[in-house]
Chains A and B, each alone.
Chain A
């Protein structure tokens, strides 16, 4: 017997139980909440499963699924509001300097990966506080590139 649980959209804990139906190890019986599924032991004949950084990746009937482990901060796309590298690559050009006022959508720097240029834009209006990378730096996906602060902080400063 193997069991685990997850939180559904209504924030309710749903319990999953897997039972190996003994008859010569032929089937798995899985209850998800109140629903019962039975799978043959070769259910993964056309499917694949792998764990990656806590997430579960599945390919079933030609579709891919990523089940994200809840409660852990995600590396890419965190909401610090500071521009991050959307992919691993090289910084080609930095177009702003600390102290520059920028508007949402302004291009801050240019990243190149797999021979393609990607413009990194300001997520909102603000001021460039610090630049955490240099031209020609190789950066990894999710790396924070620039620290921004809000316009208001500037005008409030003496």
Chain B
């Protein structure tokens, strides 16, 4: 492995690019028309344009990606997360083209990628599963549609309608009563078709007040399989995670041991290679159920890296080029506490509506116990075409309390103006009593922050500060770039910097 094509964008493309460069690989970035001026494009040694912004014509265009791999002379492809990362056909096409696919085998992706098949494998591996209903192989959508109402009644409401392919909450609907089932099936199928190119749906029992806990695993091509403990990802909005932590405040040593053993049994059942995650629902009674296996790197992988000290992207690349995992299970320790907050371009005060715009001011602070995985830079546009994640703020501390304190100060200092973000919402969650108590389940936001509004009353002091700003702005007396780090992130000076944003001082 010599040259890596990174088939992704945003913060994860930057993250992978960095790891690849650390291991001495040359890197190839790809971008859609609207991503031409992006951090990941600037970081890679080479970059190729994919096409129009729509994912199907850019980051999901397999033929184009394989063409770029050939033209650039890349010998390996890292799919990141989302997009083609769990597409077995793409993995197989890479291998057929003589490329190393950084991920598990197409067979493992296929078997785990179908929530239906993966449940059967889990059952066989004696991993507990949630009751549900899905059309088996060879049965058509009409069969599913016909039987869905009866099966939903058998499982019992509330019911979860979800896409058989993919994850991330796309195509997912909670149905409280039989009368709402049909509409949920239609909307879910449409969303699934758009997000994954596959409209197949399934039904599942919807557990109330469960926690979402997952186990990170790593497998090499020599039959070694290890786990890297759990992450709890219960704090979610619209079924998408926004805060994750490791270890989970609810996982006892006993649950941890059982859950990790179950994850390893499942991964072993498909001869899993590379980095993968086995997701579970953990009930208040300590019972856990297999949810799905994500056959790729997770968004929240940094918290595992901080508590174990193991770089998961390095491991992915090493495993892909055939190296055995250099450590055993007993070498992997879970030490301290890590928290991740996903900074999204969205408005929590308006139903988490995605926000677009231009990043006018950006400051990404550093310091002890802080990590920022960012894919953005000042003056970059946030467009409506992709997932609204801007960056991941990660804190690490001796214990959970210290990690929370560090996350609060990181969120306070992190400065982004021009695009609405969920930063203040995250800050309010981190400062809340239920979060401090570890009272997190998947209904956390609905229960504790149902009608959140930012405290944005404008005092005389704020008026006064704004007036100072206005004066300096009008007189042109402002710094185009405050810190050396910003200067690098901003690249060559542009007229926009002087006209649209400024900041005094530096960090």
A52 CA to B419 CA in the complex, in Å? 10
- For B238, what are the chain A residues with a Cβ–Cβ distance below 8 Å? 116
Q: Any chain A CB within 8 A of the CB of B195?
A: yes
Q: 5 closest pairs, A vs B, by CB? A: A62-B412, A49-B469, A45-B505, A2-B471, A30-B464
Contact (Cβ within 8 A) A141 B417: no
Quote the shortest CB–CB distance from B184 to chain A (angstroms): 12
- For B470, what are the chain A residues with a Cβ–Cβ distance below 8 Å? 2, 4, 51, 56
Additional A-B contact list (19), CB under 8 Å, known A37-B465, A48-B415: A2-B471, A14-B463, A18-B468, A30-B467, A32-B461, A37-B461, A47-B415, A48-B501, A49-B472, A58-B462, A59-B416, A87-B354, A88-B384, A89-B354, A90-B384, A114-B354, A114-B386, A114-B388, A115-B387
A35 CA to B460 CA in the complex, in Å? 8
Name A115's contact: one of B195, B413, B500 (CB within 8 Å). B195
Q: Any chain B CB within 8 A of the CB of A154?
A: no
Contact (Cβ within 8 A) B415 A4: no
Contact (Cβ within 8 A) A58 B466: yes
Q: Any chain A CB within 8 A of the CB of B503?
A: yes
- For A32, what are the chain B residues with a Cβ–Cβ distance below 8 Å? 460-461, 463-464, 467
A102 CA to B340 CA in the complex, in Å? 44
Contact (Cβ within 8 A) B190 A117: yes
- For A2, what are the chain B residues with a Cβ–Cβ distance below 8 Å? 467, 470-471, 474
Contact (Cβ within 8 A) B465 A39: yes
Q: Any chain A CB within 8 A of the CB of B396?
A: no
Chain B positions 377-417 with a Cβ under 8 Å from a chain A Cβ: 383-388, 411-413, 415-417
23 pairs, A vs B, C-beta closer than 8 Å = A2-B474, A32-B460, A35-B464, A41-B504, A44-B469, A45-B505, A48-B501, A48-B503, A49-B466, A49-B503, A50-B360, A50-B417, A51-B500, A57-B361, A58-B465, A59-B361, A60-B465, A63-B454, A64-B454, A67-B463, A88-B356, A115-B191, A116-B354
Chain B positions 277-301 with a Cβ under 8 Å from a chain A Cβ: none
The interface size bin for chain B is: 35 or more
Q: Any chain B CB within 8 A of the CB of A16?
A: yes
A119 CA to B19 CA in the complex, in Å? 41
- For A39, what are the chain B residues with a Cβ–Cβ distance below 8 Å? 464-465, 468
Contact (Cβ within 8 A) A50 B465: no
A18 CA to B276 CA in the complex, in Å? 58
Q: Any chain A CB within 8 A of the CB of B456?
A: yes
Contact (Cβ within 8 A) A63 B469: no
Beyond A57-B418, A114-B384, whether A51 also contacts B464 by CB under 8 A is no
Contact (Cβ within 8 A) A43 B463: no
Contact (Cβ within 8 A) A66 B456: yes
What is the 8 Å Cβ interface bit string for chain A, positions 54-88, against chain B (1 contact, 0 not)? 00111111111111000000000000000000111
Contact (Cβ within 8 A) B501 A50: yes
Q: Any chain A CB within 8 A of the CB of B363?
A: yes
Contact (Cβ within 8 A) B350 A63: no
Query: Number of contacting residues on A, CB 8 A?
Result: 53
The residue in B238, B385, B471, B506 that gathers the most chain A C-beta atoms within 10 A of its C-beta is B471
Contact (Cβ within 8 A) B170 A115: yes
A62 CA to B393 CA in the complex, in Å? 15
Chain A positions 11-38 with a Cβ under 8 Å from a chain B Cβ: 14, 16, 18, 28, 30, 32-33, 35, 37
Q: Any chain B CB within 8 A of the CB of A124?
A: no
Contact (Cβ within 8 A) A44 B454: no
Name A114's contact: one of B385, B462, B501 (CB within 8 Å). B385
- For A65, what are the chain B residues with a Cβ–Cβ distance below 8 Å? 456, 458, 462, 466
